[in-house]
Amino acid sequence: MTIICPCNSTKNYPDCCQLFHDGTHFPITAEALMRSRYSAYVLQNADYLLATWHKNTRPKQLDFSQDNTTWQKLEILHTKKGGEKDEKGRVEFNAFYVQDGETRLMHEISRFKKVAGRWFYVDGVLD
């Protein structure tokens, strides 16, 4: 059974974010990292999230054991820089989810930084 990637790319998961999650490829843009991190939240892949978090802002751990969030959809609204040749980038997005039976929206502008050729999530401003 083939599943569509949670990042809303319309690609199959094995041809999209799974390539990043299993470490065979690294995202070449800030948006690709954003999408793969969203998919990691959907799949509760704490190891990938921590590995792609910038060392200066990374939490010590992520614990999904009490998380009852069901992520529904990702919408990329805007990107600023974050291309293959950039060192920094921003991605504005909406993430729709259900928590405690209520549909909610998370709007964030995330900052990314490239270190030694790899993109990392730095932080984000929630709106």
pLDDT tens digits along 25-40: 999 999 999 999 999 9
Q: Are 113 and 45 a contacting pair, CB within 8 Å? A: no
DSSP string, 48-106: HHHHTB-TTT--S----TT---EEEEEEEEEEEE-STT-SEEEEEEEEEEEETTEEEEE
CATH: 3.10.450.50, 3.40.50.620, 3.30.565.10, 3.40.50.720. Which one for 13-126?
3.10.450.50
The predicted pLDDT at position 122 comes to 98
Q: Which pLDDT band holds residue 127 (cuts at 50, 70, 90)? A: confident
Report the mean per-residue pLDDT for the chain.
97
- Parse the chain into domains and list their residue ranges: 13-126
**88-99 and 102-115 strand pairing:** antiparallel
